[in-house]
């Protein structure tokens, strides 16, 4: 398990706050974080929130063969899982030191304390007994996993109901919940773990340490106790030795905390039992709002259209006039495509436009020449020499008519009667 180390500044800040009897979340020295207990739809499912630490416990049972040395007793089995979903420091499928320590502490807390009557789990001596399995899953790690796991496990065991069984000859019949009501487990007491953290060689003490406080602590003490002030198990881990006075002081604090947590578990069980009898929603899964999102289903809501026109007119009047952009400023480059109302697309139209411009220019030139010719014909200043391809049309002033006649006479001798007719007209 690899944890991200704290910086020296953060470590010094935490230790300085503990010396001043202050904590990060504003709690006092002996205060627990907010504890919330919820049960699932099925029997034996419990969800516990201790601050930001979240744990889920699920209890299941099956008929198995008993152990050879205990043929008349059932079997209790505990399985704890630290998934990477709870913390990035946890590795999937690998037993870390923390996982082994928590699993052993759970077994000592419940199995060795004889909190459950294992003899009541026997169906046929030496042949069939009930095996009760408790699976504890860590959903989020924010410190004090042992306390949250013990609360979730004992609450799930109290909430669990095993099927009723019957024996007919050599055959064992397991009845369904519809045929016979399930039977709860026989629980003598509820052991609950309380964790204490020591700092600076045992000088300072905190109850229910969070994840950052666990990183800077020197030692850890876990005491499992029931409401009758009976110590079920005790375990210390760390590099310091604790005095007898310190252990006695922690046991007195634990007795108060255990009685409060036991009352909270009992109240949660009663509320769940009342809700199931009333036929209402029970369990954290059923209490969550189920909002199904579908692609084809739409919830239609009625819309009043009485004042729609008046509101639209008011919105139009109050709205600001958008600035008008002049199209003359928008000069598209050759080959540029534009999208929008009133904009021209120049992509792939360069050659066509060049041809059109050349044709328009030639047409304009011809029109200008024709206009000049018509005006000069009207004034009598234009002399048309010939309509052949070799001759050109020359516009002459009245002063230069003599020179033009000499040229036309020479050309008329070559071209024939057309030129003579023109000379006679002139």
Grade residue 354 by pLDDT with cuts at 50, 70 and 90.
low
- Answer yes or no: pTM beyond 0.75: no
pLDDT, tens only, 40-58:
888 999 999 999 999 999 9
User: Do 413 and 426 touch, CB atoms closer than 8 A?
Assistant: no
DSSP helix/strand/coil, 132:
strand
Please tell me whether residues 91 and 196 are part of one structural domain. yes
Please tell me whether residues 282 and 404 are part of one structural domain. no
pLDDT, tens only, 310-325:
777 888 888 766 665 5
What does the DSSP 8-state code read for residue 1? -
Please tell me whether residues 282 and 399 are part of one structural domain. no
Please tell me whether residues 266 and 412 are part of one structural domain. no
Burial grade of 20 (CB within 10 A; 0-12, 13-18, 19 or more): exposed
Residue 387 lies in a domain: yes
Residue 172 lies in a domain: yes
Report the alpha-carbon distance of residue 196 to residue 209 in Å, rounded: 7
Residue 327 lies in a domain: no
- Given a cut of 80, whether residue 288 has pLDDT beyond it is no
Grade residue 267 by pLDDT with cuts at 50, 70 and 90.
very high
Number of domains in the chain: 2
Burial grade of 13 (CB within 10 A; 0-12, 13-18, 19 or more): middle
Please tell me whether residues 267 and 396 are part of one structural domain. no
Flag the least confident range among 25-29, 245-249, 289-293. Answer: 289-293
What does the DSSP 8-state code read for residue 187? B
Beta bridge pairs of residue 199: 204
pLDDT, tens only, 178-205:
888 899 999 999 999 999 999 888 888 9
Please tell me whether residues 252 and 122 are part of one structural domain. yes
Among the candidates 235, 252, 286, a domain finishes at 286
Please tell me whether residues 244 and 130 are part of one structural domain. yes
DSSP helix/strand/coil, 158:
helix
**How many Cβ atoms from other residues are within 10 Å of residue 184's Cβ?**
13
User: Do 46 and 40 touch, CB atoms closer than 8 A?
Assistant: yes
Report the alpha-carbon distance of residue 132 to residue 118 in Å, rounded: 9
Among the candidates 250, 271, 286, a domain finishes at 286
Domain that holds residue 399: 375-426
Among the candidates 267, 286, 305, a domain finishes at 286
pLDDT, tens only, 124-151:
888 899 999 999 999 999 889 999 999 9
Residue 38 lies in a domain: yes
Residue 275 lies in a domain: yes
Residue 232 lies in a domain: yes
Please tell me whether residues 162 and 24 are part of one structural domain. yes
Phi, then psi, of 159 in degrees rounded to 5: -85, -15
Report the alpha-carbon distance of residue 71 to residue 119 in Å, rounded: 9
User: Do 262 and 150 touch, CB atoms closer than 8 A?
Assistant: no
DSSP string, 346-372: -TT-HHHHHHHHHHHHHHHHHHHHHHH
- CATH code where residue 82 lies: 3.30.230.70
Residue 355 lies in a domain: no
Residue 303 lies in a domain: no
Please tell me whether residues 16 and 137 are part of one structural domain. yes
Please tell me whether residues 379 and 232 are part of one structural domain. no
Please tell me whether residues 394 and 249 are part of one structural domain. no
Beta bridge pairs of residue 140: 54
Beta bridge pairs of residue 183: 162
CA contacts within 13 A on the Cβ side of 68: 0
Report the alpha-carbon distance of residue 302 to residue 426 in Å, rounded: 95
Report the alpha-carbon distance of residue 245 to residue 28 in Å, rounded: 21
Please tell me whether residues 146 and 12 are part of one structural domain. yes
Beta-carbon contacts of residue 272 (< 8 Å; ≥ 6 apart): 39, 159, 282, 283
Residue the block writes with tokens 């007793």? 73
User: Do 264 and 37 touch, CB atoms closer than 8 A?
Assistant: yes
């Amino acid at each position: 398990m690899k944890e991200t180390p704290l910086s020296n500044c953060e470590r010094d800040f935490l230790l300085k706050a503990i010396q001043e009897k202050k904590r990060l979340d504003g709690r006092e020295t002996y205060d627990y974080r907010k504890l919330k207990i919820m049960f699932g739809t099925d029997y034996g499912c419990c969800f516990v929130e201790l601050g930001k630490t979240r744990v889920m416990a699920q209890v299941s049972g099956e008929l198995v063969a008993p152990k050879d040395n205990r043929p008349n007793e059932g079997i209790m089995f505990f399985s704890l899982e630290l998934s990477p979903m709870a913390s990035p420091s946890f590795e999937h499928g690998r037993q870390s030191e923390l996982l082994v320590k928590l699993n052993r502490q759970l077994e000592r807390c419940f199995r060795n304390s004889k909190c459950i009557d294992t003899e009541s789990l026997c169906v046929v001596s030496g042949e069939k007994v009930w095996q009760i399995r408790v699976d504890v899953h860590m959903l989020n790690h924010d410190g004090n996993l042992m306390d949250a796991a013990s609360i979730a496990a004992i609450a799930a065991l109290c909430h669990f109901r095993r099927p009723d069984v019957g024996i007919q000859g050599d055959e064992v019949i397991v009845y369904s919940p519809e045929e016979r009501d399930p039977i709860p487990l026989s629980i003598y007491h509820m052991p609950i773990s309380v964790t204490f953290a020591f700092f600076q060689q045992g000088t300072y003490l905190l109850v229910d340490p969070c994840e950052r406080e666990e990183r800077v602590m020197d030692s850890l003490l876990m005491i499992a106790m029931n409401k009758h002030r009976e110590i079920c198990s005790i375990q210390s881990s760390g590099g310091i030795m604790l005095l007898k006075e310190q252990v006695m002081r922690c046991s007195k604090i634990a007795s108060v905390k255990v009685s409060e947590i036991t009352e909270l578990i009992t109240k949660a069980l009663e509320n769940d039992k009342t809700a199931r009898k009333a036929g209402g929603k029970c369990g954290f899964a059923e209490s969550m709002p189920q909002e199904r999102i579908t692609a084809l289903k739409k919830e239609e809501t009625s819309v009043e259209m009485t004042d729609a026109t008046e509101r639209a007119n008011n919105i139009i009047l109050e709205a600001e006039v958008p600035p008008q952009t002049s199209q003359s400023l928008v000069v598209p480059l050759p080959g540029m495509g534009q999208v929008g109302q009133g904009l021209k697309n120049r992509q792939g139209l360069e050659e066509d436009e060049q041809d059109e411009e050349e044709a328009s220019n030639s047409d304009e030139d011809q029109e200008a020449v024709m206009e000049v010719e018509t005006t000069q014909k009207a004034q009598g200043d234009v002399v048309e020499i010939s309509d052949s391809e070799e001759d050109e049309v020359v516009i002459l002033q009245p002063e230069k008519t003599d020179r033009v006649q000499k040229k036309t006479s020479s050309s008329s001798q070559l071209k024939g009667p057309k030129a003579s007719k023109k000379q006679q007209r002139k």
